Amino acid sequence: MAHRVIISGGGTGGHIFPAIAIANALRRLEPDIEILFVGALGRMEMERVPAAGYEIVGLDIRGIDRKSLVKNLSLPFKMMGSLLKARRILRDFKAEVAVGVGGFASGPLLMMANRMGLPTLIQEQNSYAGVTNKRLGRKASRICVAYEGMDQFFPAEKIQLTGNPIRRSSVEIRGREREALASFGLQEGKKTILITGGSLGAKTLNDCVLAGLDKFVGADVQVIWQCGSYYAEALQNTLQDKLPKNIVLLPFLQRMDYAYAAADLVVSRAGAGTISELCAVGKPAVLVPSPNVAEDHQTKNAQALVGKQAAVLVSDISARINLVDTVLTLLADESRCFELGERIKTLAMLNADEVIAKEVLKLINR
């Protein structure tokens, strides 16, 4: 009889892609395994998960709205409704284990799984655990983490250092530089910078690039600028035909492997998934942590790399003043770029998806 696993969470690509990677690893280990995803209605996992070939059920749940107290009045009712639906999903699917990767849906699903006596596994992606995962960790059977020192948040005996699952197709870049540059219409032999705000885009990074266009042109470098679909139309209207030929503006990167392969240096936010990919490709990186995340965990993620001299950190508040200058100065320093690339490469954990999948199967068999 095929094993049955529920994977819950989402909200951003940083949660969805690792979840899908774990599911793919489970399928490689047990081709007949039954997997059901549980997400939050209206969030991007409701589209991305089916596109990856998996079934998903949505809970009517969202996070606290820090800008509108009135919108939070319905949260207790949504939580109660989500807990009841989670119990029904777990019972009807006959789940043997529940996996939480973070995001709104993870909380009620794993809370109910714990109440029902099912084994649960948490995949904590960041160097600073969020409130929900810390609470869930008290009853979790296993906690897979990507950073050392996580026993300050979780019981040490439950922790396993696995790294974060990554999209393998995104980090297979060896020998692809020439075709990657050609795909973006860029020249060989010129230094290339990848600036990416993640799947949703980042206003700070977009503002920095917009203000620094003349500096990039003056330095005679090429830029792959992934701005996010939310900002793309406004930027295209602002620039119209004024975008320099050495700057490629894209809402979304369909081929992250090409983007990484073409880049000599990467500028990005400091989400856990992005950092794990940067470690895998071994590119020098300038990290600009988002200030709009719970517990400021992106800053802590970035500091974990800076502490090992494996990346450069520019704060969001200072980015508009010095990001472009920092990037161009670093790009011109080839020895520093080489050192950063070599150091970040040593932090890569390339088989995290299979290690976590094996832990999931152990919980079933136990």
Annotated binding residue 123: no
> Any known ligand binding at 329?
no
Ligand-binding annotation for 91, yes or no, is no
What does the H/E/C string look like for 25-77?
HHHHHCCCCEEEEEEECCCCHHHHHHHCCCEEEEECCCCCCCCCCHHHHHHHH
Half-sphere exposure of 173 (CA within 13 A, CB side): 23
Residue 160: both structure tokens together: 């396993």
Within the chain, where are the H helices?
A: 13-29, 45-51, 75-93, 106-115, 131-137, 168-171, 177-183, 203-211, 213-218, 229-239, 256-262, 272-281, 297-306, 316-332, 334-345, 352-365
298 assigned to a ligand binding site: yes
218 in a known ligand binding site: no
Task: Please list, in sequence order, all residues whose beta carbon lies within 8 angstroms of the beta carbon of residue 99, skipping any fewer than 6 positions away.
Answer: 5, 6, 7, 8, 19, 22, 120, 121, 122, 123, 360
Q: Is 351 helix (H, G, I), strand (E, B) or coil?
A: coil
How far, in Å, CA of 97 to CA of 120, rounded?
Answer: 6
Between β-strands 97-100 and 192-196, what pairing exists: parallel, antiparallel or unpaired?
unpaired
Q: Is 12 annotated as a binding residue?
A: yes
Q: How far apart are CA 286 and CA 148, in angstroms?
A: 22
Give the separation between CA 204 and CA 291, rounded to whole angstroms. Answer: 10
Annotated binding residue at 322? Answer: no
Task: Measure the CA–CA gap between 345 and 7, rounded to whole angstroms.
Answer: 29
Give the separation between CA 118 and CA 134, rounded to whole angstroms.
Answer: 18
Residue with tokens 């990037």: 327
Residue stretches of the annotated binding site for UDP-N-acetyl-alpha-D-glucosamine: 12-14, 126, 167, 199, 298
Residue stretches of the annotated binding site: 12-14, 126, 167, 199, 298
